Structure 1
Amino acid sequence: MLIVAIAFVVFLLMRMPVAFAIGISGVLFFAQHPELPFTIPAQITVSQTQNFSLLAVPLFILAGNFMNRSGITKRLLELASVMTGRLRGGLAQVSIALSALMGGVSGSAIADASMQSRMLGEDMVRRGFTRGFTAGVLSYGAVLTPIIPPGIGMILFGTIGQVSIGRLFAGGVLPALLLWLALSLAVWLTARSRGYEPERKVRPSLKETARAFKGGIWALLFPVFLLFGLRMGVFTPSEIGAFAVLYAIFIGVLVYREMKAKGFIEALEGSLTDVGAVMFLIALSVIFSYGLVFERVPEVVSGWILGVTENPYAAMILVAVFVLVIGFFIDATVLIIMLTPIFLPVIRQLGGDPVHFGIVFIIAATIGNFTPPVGAAMYAVCSILKCPIGEYTRESKGLLAAVALVVLLLVFLPGIVLFLPDLVFG
């Protein structure tokens, strides 16, 4: 597997698309083992696309695109302004709140960061925020997106690791609120030191607050309906994806009446691109994973970790640090697909809870989207705002520290993650 790993890194450095880098390097494994039929890569790639549980992925992507064109975004922005506009930090606080509210809508950290950069980026700069800090806030706020139902990362982790997706959905809610608090505090401290003023000088009236909550209530109820449907056995994880699509169409067509034929077609076109990229990556990753299993890499890693510690919390920290470092170079989706089969069995063997580990693992993997050298959300935001990567990196240190501290807290306080799953699912 050493040659395969080196080839994978070289392909990434050549800026080859990640799906091809994984697939081609995985095929090299079979070239090293002539005793294995060369038809296996084609067979396992096709069989991976027939995995019924993965049906939730394209359905939730489609639902997210419909929701973004339903008129719900501007209503959530108004709600975020009402909730946090009077906090020191102004639009930066509004951006963090909007990320929390949009988590259940977009499901994608990169999509959320890009959208907010176009909506709020230049307004924040005109209000006196530096471009580096603006880009950092708009980027790191999107760390909330993958762990608020229905985050795609949780669906992938649950499918690959055979972990309850319903419990993962519930487990992400309190950590997301904690991340929101930590990022908001980091923004407040920076704003206080630099003199950034609140966005709103006057407390919103009761009527204005009620109107804002009424406008955003359909988005706020979305994760609740998902958890309720899973808890009551009304839907399977795959079926609830279909419900999400119908829910998004219902909101856009009948409630807000802003989804017209053009927006509907644009949502379909965008979903085709998004689904194709994600599913192609999932399909080709199984070639790479086959080599890992054949060479017993999970057992080797398990043995190494068990040789270092038998404490599940210490093991989880080791995994989180490893994922954080490797996430500087590899996309979060790829990490979840490739590393879940390696690390999850180790945590289970040590007696750790898979839902607790899953949330910590997904957050640690997602951080790589916001850090150099290959953070996809970072590049999207910096490109839109024309912000140098060096300035972005300097101005984002406090936000990175806030997220890292939350991850550390979640490792040692599993009750934060498991309270809601245990309450809802028993």
Structure 2
Amino acid sequence: MIAIGIVFLVLLFIGAPIAFVIGISGFVFFLQSDIMPLSIGVQRIATMSQSFPLLAVPFFVLTGHLMNASGITERLFHFANVAVSWMAGGLAQVSVILSTLMGGVSGSAVAEAAMEARILGPSMLAQGYSKGFSAAVIAVTALITAVLPPSIGLILYGYVGNVSIGRLFMAGIIPGILMMIVMMVTIYIIARKRDYVAADARKPTAGELGRAMWGAKWALLFPVLLVFAIRGGVLTPSEVGAGAVIYAVVIGTLAHRELTPDRTLNAFREAISDIGMIMLIILMSGIVGFAITFLQVPQQLSGLLLGTISEPHLVVIAVLAFLFVIGLFLEGTVMMLLLTPIVVPIITSVGFDPVHFGILMMIVVTLGGMTPPVGVAMFTVCSLLNCRIESYTRESLPLIGAVLLLVLALLFMPGVVLFLPNLVF
């Protein structure tokens, strides 16, 4: 295992593509093993692709691109702008609402952050918001997208950890809403102190709010239909992904009449690029996952951890702290694939619900994308807004602190996270 770790770190340090970092590191295990032929590694790659639940990933990635091309994003932005732009920190509050609404569409925090940086970023800067504050709000609020269905990360966690994806989808709804509220309150406090209030701000009338909501009705209806389709047993999570693609095409062509052939082709082109990258990482992770299981790493870490800590909540806190530190250096998708097989046996051995833990892990792991030194969402937003990393880091601390306090609160309130899964299933 030490050799795998060394090769992994060296390749990561020299900037090799992450899929090849994982794949080459995994093959090192077979090359130095006397009892495992190299052909087993190739078989593990093929085995990772033979999964029905995994079909949800490419379908939901494609759905996100099709919905962006069909005018749904613009309608969600208009609704969010009408609903909360009158508050202190108006456009920053719009970012929070838009992230929440996009959580039911894109399923990707990085994609959502990039989209908001293009749509909201210039307007925030024009209204006098600092670059650091604008970038921090756009990047960190995208974290909400990661826990609301159809979250790509939750699909991967459920697939690798053998946890119900339907229950995970349900479990992410209340924490996602709570995260929205916590971030809105944090932004409101900061905006009041800095006088980030639009001079012409006014509350919308009921008619204005109703018209904006009606304009975004098809986007707002999508996550509701998704939940009912899974709960009613009409579709599995994988089949819901296929249904979501059909939904996006129908709405874009018949309802909004904006999904032209050129836009459709461009959406497929972007989706293929994203899917290829994600699936290559998933396939290569099968080799490392096999090595981790064969070397009994989860059992060894569990014995080490449980030998020093007996309180279940302290065990989970220790695991989450470990994930947070690792998340500062590794991309979230990679962490979900490589570390889920290690940590799930540990937390289940102390009697902790894997669905409850999955939501906490998803938040902490995705948060790494918003933090230095290698946060993907952070670099994406900062590059689009031409913002210095130092300024971003300073402004992001209050929001990150608020999120971590929420994670701690959710840890000790399992009923909040598991209320909907237990009610629905």
In the other structure, the counterpart of 2:225 is 225
Taking a change above 3 Å as real, the CA distance of residues 260 and 123 of structure 1, as seen in their structure-2 partners, is: same
**Residue-by-residue CA offset, 1:67-113 (whole Å, 9 max, x unaligned):** 11110111111111122112100111111111011111111111000
In the other structure, the counterpart of 1:169 is 169
In the other structure, the counterpart of 1:93 is 93
**3-state SS of paired residue (1:174):** helix
Do the aligned partners of 1:329 and 1:368 also contact (CA within 8 Å) in 2? Answer: yes
Do the aligned partners of 1:298 and 1:341 also contact (CA within 8 Å) in 2? Answer: yes
Query: Is residue 2:104 matched to residue 1:113?
Result: no
Structure 1 Cα separation of the partners of residues 198 and 322 of structure 2: 38
**Residue-by-residue CA offset, 1:305-326 (whole Å, 9 max, x unaligned):** 2112233221111111111110
CA drift at 1:418: 0.5
Structure 2 Cα separation of the partners of residues 310 and 246 of structure 1: 49
In the other structure, the counterpart of 2:62 is 62
Residues paired across the two proteins, number: 425
Unmatched 5+ stretches in structure 2:
none
Do the aligned partners of 2:168 and 2:355 also contact (CA within 8 Å) in 1? Answer: yes
In the other structure, the counterpart of 1:289 is 289
Do the aligned partners of 2:108 and 2:151 also contact (CA within 8 Å) in 1? Answer: yes
Structure 1 Cα separation of the partners of residues 353 and 102 of structure 2: 28
CA drift at 1:282: 0.2
Which residue identity lines up with residue 43 of structure 2 in the other structure?
Answer: Q
**3-state SS of paired residue (2:351):** coil
Structure 1 Cα separation of the partners of residues 341 and 107 of structure 2: 23
Which residue identity lines up with residue 56 of structure 1 in the other structure?
Answer: A
Which residue identity lines up with residue 314 of structure 1 in the other structure?
Answer: L
**3-state SS of paired residue (1:142):** helix
In the other structure, the counterpart of 1:202 is 202
CA drift at 1:200: 5.7
Which residue identity lines up with residue 96 of structure 1 in the other structure?
Answer: V
In the other structure, the counterpart of 2:378 is 378
Do the aligned partners of 1:91 and 1:199 also contact (CA within 8 Å) in 2? Answer: no
Structure 2 Cα separation of the partners of residues 25 and 385 of structure 1: 36
**3-state SS of paired residue (2:340):** helix
Which residue identity lines up with residue 44 of structure 2 in the other structure?
Answer: I
Taking a change above 3 Å as real, the CA distance of residues 200 and 360 of structure 1, as seen in their structure-2 partners, is: farther
Give runs of aligned pairs for residues 172-321 of structure 1, distance below 5 A: 172-198=172-198, 201-321=201-321
**3-state SS of paired residue (2:105):** helix
Higher mean C-alpha deviation, range 111-120 or range 217-226: 217-226
Structure 1 Cα separation of the partners of residues 199 and 299 of structure 2: 54
CA drift at 1:11: 1.2
Which residue identity lines up with residue 124 of structure 2 in the other structure?
Answer: M
Do the aligned partners of 1:87 and 1:199 also contact (CA within 8 Å) in 2? Answer: no
CA drift at 1:391: 1.0
CA drift at 1:237: 1.5
Higher mean C-alpha deviation, range 176-185 or range 200-209: 200-209
Do the aligned partners of 1:298 and 1:342 also contact (CA within 8 Å) in 2? Answer: yes
In the other structure, the counterpart of 1:76 is 76
Higher mean C-alpha deviation, range 269-278 or range 216-225: 216-225
CA drift at 1:189: 1.3
**3-state SS of paired residue (2:38):** coil
**Residue-by-residue CA offset, 1:98-131 (whole Å, 9 max, x unaligned):** 1011111111111000010011111111111110
Structure 1 Cα separation of the partners of residues 34 and 304 of structure 2: 29
Taking a change above 3 Å as real, the CA distance of residues 200 and 28 of structure 1, as seen in their structure-2 partners, is: farther
Do the aligned partners of 1:118 and 1:384 also contact (CA within 8 Å) in 2? Answer: yes
Structure 2 Cα separation of the partners of residues 193 and 332 of structure 1: 34
Structure 1 Cα separation of the partners of residues 105 and 230 of structure 2: 18
Do the aligned partners of 1:158 and 1:164 also contact (CA within 8 Å) in 2? Answer: yes
In the other structure, the counterpart of 1:417 is 417
If the length of structure 2 is used for normalisation, what is the TM-score?
0.98
Do the aligned partners of 1:92 and 1:134 also contact (CA within 8 Å) in 2? Answer: yes
Structure 1 Cα separation of the partners of residues 103 and 235 of structure 2: 21
Do the aligned partners of 1:85 and 1:200 also contact (CA within 8 Å) in 2? Answer: no
- Structure 1 moving runs of 4+ over 4 Å: none
Do the aligned partners of 2:59 and 2:241 also contact (CA within 8 Å) in 1? Answer: yes
Structure 2 Cα separation of the partners of residues 80 and 304 of structure 1: 48
**3-state SS of paired residue (1:150):** coil
Structure 1 Cα separation of the partners of residues 185 and 260 of structure 2: 40
CA drift at 1:198: 4.1
If the length of structure 1 is used for normalisation, what is the TM-score?
0.98
Query: Is residue 2:343 matched to residue 1:343?
Result: yes
Do the aligned partners of 2:67 and 2:248 also contact (CA within 8 Å) in 1? Answer: yes
Taking a change above 3 Å as real, the CA distance of residues 174 and 297 of structure 1, as seen in their structure-2 partners, is: same
Structure 2 Cα separation of the partners of residues 292 and 198 of structure 1: 54
Q: What is the RMSD computed on CA atoms of the aligned residues?
A: 1.1
Do the aligned partners of 1:79 and 1:216 also contact (CA within 8 Å) in 2? Answer: yes
Structure 2 Cα separation of the partners of residues 100 and 198 of structure 1: 23
Do the aligned partners of 2:87 and 2:201 also contact (CA within 8 Å) in 1? Answer: no
CA drift at 1:12: 1.1
**3-state SS of paired residue (1:257):** coil
In the other structure, the counterpart of 1:27 is 27
CA drift at 1:34: 2.9
Structure 1 Cα separation of the partners of residues 199 and 206 of structure 2: 18
Taking only the aligned residue pairs, the percentage that are identical comes to: 48
Which residue identity lines up with residue 268 of structure 1 in the other structure?
Answer: F
